[in-house]
Structure formats: C-alpha cells, structure tokens
C-alpha cells in the first residue's frame, strides 16, 4: 500500500477519486492500493517557551533571550485526532511508501514534514508537485512523482522561517512588553510592515501644500502649457506678455507607439487588482482563490510567477477558446489570440501564473458564491487580455515659443485598441467605473508656423502629498521593500511572500496596531507609538527583505540553514542586551485609563475591561478573568457587558434577562452570581421565585 497525505480533506478526496480509492474510513480513504489521508493545516507546531523551562511562564527581562536548543515540536490540541490517524498509517506495516501531496510550496512542505518527523517515520518518500487540481494534472503528477529528498532544502527553508519568526516574536514581544508594561506584539515581518505604514502617515502629516502656476496659450482648439512656475507674479507677467501676441511652432514630433498586453496574475497582483476593482481584502482574495483551486477551476494560487511554461501553449489555447465562449464580456468580441505573449519558462519558478483550468468549461459558474465568481471572471479576463494584441497609437508633441518661453501640447490618437477592448468590455460587464478612452487630437501644425493673436491664461495648482496606503499599494510596497538596496542579479522577495502577506496585514489589524478606514490602512495610536520606540533592526524593511532572500537561498541549497539561524540569533541577543531599561515617563506612554468595574474576588485589586474580557489589573500574578466568549454567555446567546460585570462584582448577583435555554429554545430571566474555584470562575444561576396566588 502507498500512503498519500494531502493538506486538506477536499484535496484528498479529489486525489482519491483519480487514484480509484473509494472506501471512506475514519480520517482516510482506502482503495486500489492506496491510503489517502490529510492534514488540517498545521498538525504540528513549535512548542511554547514554557515547554523548555517552567520559569518562562512568567515574562521577565532576566530570562531573555530564550534560545531553544534543541528545538521542540508539539502536536496541536485541536487536530490531535487527525494526527493519530496519520501516525498509525505512517507506521503501519502495510504502508511501503509515503507520498507528500500537500500544497506545492514552502508551507505545504513544512506541514507534511513535521508530521512525518514527529511520527518518526523512515519509509521511502515521494513528492507530488502539481499546479492544478484537475484530474488530468493529478494523473500526470502521479506518473511523474519526484523523490522527496529533492525538497529537503525547501523543508529546511520552511523550518528556518518558522524558527526565526518564533525567536523574533517571542523575544521581541516579551522584551518590549516588559519594558513598557503593555502588550506590544513584535513580528519579523509584521513590524517592518507597520513601520512602512507609520512612515507614510508621517510623510503625509509633515507635507506642506505648496502652490505652483502654469501659463496657457490658446489658439483655436490648441491649448499649450508652460513649465511649472513657482511665483504667481512671474506667471502673471508671462501671461500679460503673451496676451494677443505671436507664438511660433518650434518643433512637431509624431511617433507611432504601442502598449504591450498586460502580464498574467501572480498572487500579489491578483490581490492588488481585486482590492482596487472589488474592494476585496488580500485575505478575502486568497480565500476565494484557494476555494476556486480546490474546486479545480483555477491553477495553484500561491505563486510569484506571471508567465506560463513554454510547453503549456496548447493547454492555454484550449482554455482561451473555452473562455471566449463562456465569459459574458467576450460575447461580442473576436480578438486574435497571441499565446506567445505569456510563455516564458525562464520566468517561471515553482509554479506558473494563475489561470482558469479546462474544468471551467463544464462548471456551473452561476452556482459559485458571488465573491468566487467575480474573482474567476477577473482571472479569466486577465488571461484573455494578456494573449490579445497590443494597443497601437500615435502621439504628437508640439513645442511652441512665445516671449522666449516654451509651451507644450500633446495629442494621442488610438489606431487599434487591442487588449484594451477586452478591458473595456470586462469593466462594463462587471459595472466597474472606468475613464473614457478618447483621442486627443491637435490641429494640423508644422514646424515654423506662426500663430497670431494667441490668448493667454494662468491656472493655479498645488503639490500633492503622498497617498494613504490601501491594501493594493501596501502589497506593492511589501513586494518591493529593500529592492533598491539589492543588485539586479538577486531574486527579489521583499517583505513576506505572496502566500503570507495577507495574513500579516490581518495580524496587524487583529492586534489593533492598524485599522481599516474605507479603503485605507492606517496605523492606530498604539501602532504609531510602537514604531517610535522600536530600534531599527526590528523595524527595518531592508533587513527583513534580506532575510527573505536568504530563505530563498536556503531553499535552493545556496546557503546553510545554520548560517541563516546564526544571523537571527545574533540579532535577538544584541537586541536584548542593548534594550534593558526605559524611563518612567517613556514606559507610561502606552498606559490607558480604564474604567474600574469593581474589585477582584481573589486579590481585591481593580477589575478592568480589555478586548477579550474583564481582568484583574494584577495580570497573570492573580489570573482572575471573565471572558467575553465564555461558554455560559455564548450558549445563552447573550453578551457579557460591562454593566453585568459591574453588578456581579459590586452587588454579588444581578438579574439578567434574555438568556436562551438550549433545551426549550425560549428566552428566560435569572439571577447570576460568581463562583470562584481558584482556577476557574463559574456562573451560578438562580431562578426568580414565582409568587403564590
């Protein structure tokens, strides 16, 4: 028997169908010489710090830095059951070979390898490496399984990434939390990302709007403009000198130009465009794309390539023909297909660009959820536009002279819309607002012509500040971070990877360091303060981009994992030794005035509200807390409000209505009080006594 391990149950079922395994068992599928099972995301993770020493349960400066040696992993509690299934299958005498079929990328490799290592499995290992969940792609992948050892370096890269994030996150968070007595989450990638947001807002706040002026000379339909003039007086003088005067045509340049069709999508450009056109967050786009991939409607989404391999020409042509008949925005269009536009094996890394699959031909698109359908249409549009002819146009640049000053006018005439015809049709079909594509035609002018009695005017303009980051522009900035400091020869990776950038943004929002406001991403007050107090090595986009580049080198076998980890460890040790105390005034800048709801039942200190619930100000030393998602109130479909907590702490008990009974399904009223076991705080329920008639 051969054991195939996929990353998710849905993927495992698709693989089992192709392999002819059709007997469903508990946690796996069996048949035709195969066991097909699955992980549920990560089943194994790095241990918490207290697994190395009990003292790490308390956060103290003197215990830093925490440097595990050797590193320990643990089975995650939520998925322990599925791990037991996999371990039993991995160690079964019936299994002769193990096939890794998790997502074909760094994290997919890590998910499988940690399970394989934790189970102490030593059986021969193969790797399924595919870019599509179509049946034909799965079949071809199993016919061309690769030896698992080919991906040892990829696994080491993933392991280094995991350990580096642990070291920076655990030590950085504890260090600055202890110093400032306020929970300050630090992350290897998320902190430099926050720093970019804070820096942008500082640039905007420091920006001073400055006026500038432009002088126009007009003759019939011609409107030519001067260069920027800083002085209003100077602009008015030039206007007066030119009024009703003569202008001479100094030069006329006409040029035939073309604009190439756009490239296909990698994950980052897909997320950016979906944010710009549909207001999807990066995480929403990734979730929709992953769902479409698992439904076999698009190819693997977590890619950083924007081309297809040269051997995909026939497949691409077949997909395009299907899309031309199925996509509503192509109904009245008939453009030439130029597949060569998107073929370039040299520019494809682990996976090619994202395109629809042949399965899209028979799929019921109307049955898809709205978000998935719109994203599929977007991916289809991009393939059709990318393989369409280029746009062709003619530009005219006219330079005139009046009173020894130069004025310029430009015109543009589109001769062939090319791919832009598909773009216009797509946006119209999807009801996306678009600017009108119009020709700018200049009157017939030739060098040496004289224009008599020109009219003149002055227009006032203002310099513009940098724009607030949106998810679109932040993803672009993360992708380009540190590039200006790298040579052209290196493979540029920026902050994070296409697969992780969405999660980084969501972490910052969850930590209340960043907030979404309309389409903008803005740092909160705490986010601004945090970046102000952090040293450069923690918030440096260049340093983090360098690390990401080194992880790529580890994956390629060009850098030893130990060398990468030594760099991370050295930075963490230097950080802890350098930052060991702060002034009282600086320490208190994160302190918030919170309303006291009552006295702690255990130690008598104030109880205040925090995001997860209501806790004693003594913190972990006391441990008293009432959590908003506690089982009693969640089951009763009732919110645990500050008013209820205040009543419980100050009066001992409080009457609460609107509680839902799980047995009857009806709402009821009861008196609630607290029962503290020393370890847990429980709610006691008493029902009001009915009056006797």
**Measured torsion, CA atoms of residues 132, 133, 136, 141, in degrees rounded to the nearest 10:** 70
Closest by Cα among 162, 168, 175 to 191: 168
Q: Contact at 8 Å (CB) between 684 and 675?
A: yes
Q: What is the three-class DSSP state of 615? A: strand
Closest by Cα among 125, 477, 498, 149 to 305: 498
Sign of CA dihedral 70, 76, 80, 83: negative
Q: Pairing between strand 2-6 and 34-38?
A: parallel
Distances (CA, A) of 625 to 592, 613, 618, 629: 19, 7, 11, 12
Q: How far apart are CA 287 and CA 123, in angstroms?
A: 34
Q: How far apart are CA 611 and CA 526, in angstroms?
A: 14
Q: Exposure of 120 by Cβ count < 10 A (0-12 exposed, 13-18 middle, 19+ buried)?
A: exposed
Q: How far apart are CA 213 and CA 459, in angstroms?
A: 6
Q: Contact at 8 Å (CB) between 313 and 339?
A: yes
Q: Show the DSSP H helices in 181-297 as ranges.
A: 190-206, 232-242, 267-278, 282-294
The neighbour count for residue 236, using CB atoms within 10 Å, is: 15
Q: What is the three-class DSSP state of 512? A: coil
Catalytic residue among 300, 393, 579, 614: 300
Closest by Cα among 151, 628, 219, 228 to 454: 219
Q: How far apart are CA 526 and CA 37, in angstroms?
A: 44
- 417-443: b (≥16 Cβ within 10 Å) or e: bbbbbbbbbbbeebeeeeeeeeeeebe
Q: How far apart are CA 439 and CA 416, in angstroms?
A: 12
| Biggest CA-to-CA distance, the chain | 111
Q: Contact at 8 Å (CB) between 3 and 37?
A: yes
What is the DSSP annotation of 83-95? HHHHHHHHT-TT-
CA angle 453, 455, 459 (to 5 degrees): 160
Q: How far apart are the first and last CA of the chain?
A: 75
Counting Cα atoms < 13 Å in the Cβ hemisphere of 124 gives 9
Q: What is the three-class DSSP state of 648? A: helix
Phi/psi of residue 35, nearest 5 degrees: -105, 130
**Measured torsion, CA atoms of residues 323, 326, 327, 332, in degrees rounded to the nearest 10:** 100
Q: How far apart are CA 520 and CA 152, in angstroms?
A: 41
Which helix or strand (DSSP H or E) is residue 391 part of?
Answer: strand 391-402
Q: How far apart are CA 194 and CA 42, in angstroms?
A: 26
Structure tokens at 324: 């031309």
Q: How far apart are CA 297 and CA 307, in angstroms?
A: 18
**Count H helices, E strands: the chain?**
21, 25
Distances (CA, A) of 218 to 303, 401, 455, 477: 52, 12, 5, 41
Bridge partners of 517, per DSSP, are 520
419 is catalytic: no
Structure tokens at 413: 């005439």
Q: Which residues are catalytic?
A: 300
């Amino acid at each position: 028997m051969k054991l195939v391990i996929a990353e998710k149950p849905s993927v495992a079922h698709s693989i089992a169908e192709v392999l002819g395994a059709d007997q469903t068992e508990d946690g796996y599928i069996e048949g035709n010489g195969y066991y097909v099972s699955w992980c549920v995301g990560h089943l194994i993770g790095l241990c918490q710090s207290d697994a190395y020493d009990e003292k790490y349960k308390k956060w103290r400066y003197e215990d830093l830095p925490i440097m595990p040696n050797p590193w320990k992993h643990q089975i995650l509690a939520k998925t322990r059951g599925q791990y037991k299934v996999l371990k039993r299958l991995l160690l079964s005498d019936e299994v002769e070979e193990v096939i890794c079929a998790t997502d074909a990328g760094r994290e997919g490799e890590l998910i499988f390898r940690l399970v394989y290592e934790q189970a102490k499995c030593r059986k021969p290992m193969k790797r399924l490496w595919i870019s599509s969940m179509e049946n034909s792609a799965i079949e071809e992948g199993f016919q061309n399984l690769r030896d698992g050892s080919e991906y040892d370096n990829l696994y080491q890269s993933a392991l280094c990434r995991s350990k580096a994030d642990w070291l920076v996150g655990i030590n950085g968070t504890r260090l600055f939390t202890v110093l400032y007595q306020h929970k300050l989450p630090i992350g290897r990638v998320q902190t430099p990302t926050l720093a970019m947001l804070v820096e942008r807002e500082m640039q905007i706040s420091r920006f001073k709007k400055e006026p500038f002026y432009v002088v126009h000379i007009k003759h019939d339909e011609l409107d030519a403009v001067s260069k920027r003039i800083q002085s209003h007086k100077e602009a008015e003088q030039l206007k007066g000198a030119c009024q009703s005067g003569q202008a001479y045509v100094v030069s006329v340049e006409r040029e035939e130009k073309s604009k190439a069709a756009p490239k296909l999508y990698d994950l980052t450009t897909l997320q950016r465009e979906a944010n710009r056109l549909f207001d999807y967050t990066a995480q929403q786009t990734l979730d929709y794309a992953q769902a479409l991939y698992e439904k076999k409607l698009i190819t693997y989404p977590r890619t950083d390539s924007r081309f297809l391999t040269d051997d995909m020409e026939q497949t691409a042509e077949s997909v395009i023909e299907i899309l031309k008949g199925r996509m509503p925005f192509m109904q009245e269009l008939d453009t030439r297909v130029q597949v060569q536009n998107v073929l370039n094996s040299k520019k494809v890394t682990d996976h090619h660009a994202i395109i629809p699959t042949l399965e899209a031909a028979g799929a019921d698109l109307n049955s898809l959820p709205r978000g998935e359908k719109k994203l599929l249409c977007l991916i289809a549009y991009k393939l059709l536009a990318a393989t369409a002819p280029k746009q062709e146009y003619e530009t005219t640049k006219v330079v005139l002279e009046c009173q020894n000053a130069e004025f310029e006018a430009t015109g543009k005439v589109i001769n062939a819309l090319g791919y832009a015809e598909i773009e216009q049709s797509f946006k119209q079909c999807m009801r996306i607002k678009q600017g009108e594509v119009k020709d700018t035609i200049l009157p017939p002018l030739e060098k040496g012509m004289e224009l008599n009695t020109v009219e003149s005017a002055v227009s006032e303009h203002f310099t513009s500040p940098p724009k607030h980051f949106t998810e679109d522009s932040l993803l672009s900035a993360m992708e380009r971070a540190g590039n200006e400091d790298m040579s052209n020869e290196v493979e540029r990776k920026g902050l994070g990877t296409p697969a992780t950038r969405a999660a980084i943004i969501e972490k910052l929002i969850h930590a209340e360091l960043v907030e979404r406001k309309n389409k903008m991403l803005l740092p909160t007050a705490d986010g601004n303060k945090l970046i102000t107090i952090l040293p450069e090595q923690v918030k440096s986009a260049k340093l983090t981009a360098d690390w990401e580049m080194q992880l790529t080198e580890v994956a390629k076998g060009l850098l030893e994992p130990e060398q990468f980890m030594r760099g991370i460890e050295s930075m963490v040790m230097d950080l802890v030794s350098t930052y060991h105390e702060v002034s009282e005034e600086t320490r208190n800048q994160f302190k918030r005035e919170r309303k006291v709801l009552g006295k702690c039942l255990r130690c008598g200190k104030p109880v205040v509200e925090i995001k997860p619930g209501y806790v004693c100000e003594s913190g972990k030393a006391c441990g008293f807390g009432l959590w908003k998602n506690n089982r009693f109130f969640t089951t009763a479909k009732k919110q645990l409000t500050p008013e209820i907590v205040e009543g419980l702490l100050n009066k001992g008990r409080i009457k609460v209505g609107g509680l839902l009974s799980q047995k009857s399904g009806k709402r009821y009223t009861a008196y609630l009080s607290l029962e503290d076991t020393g370890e847990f705080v429980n709610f006691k329920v008493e029902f009001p006594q009915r009056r006797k008639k």
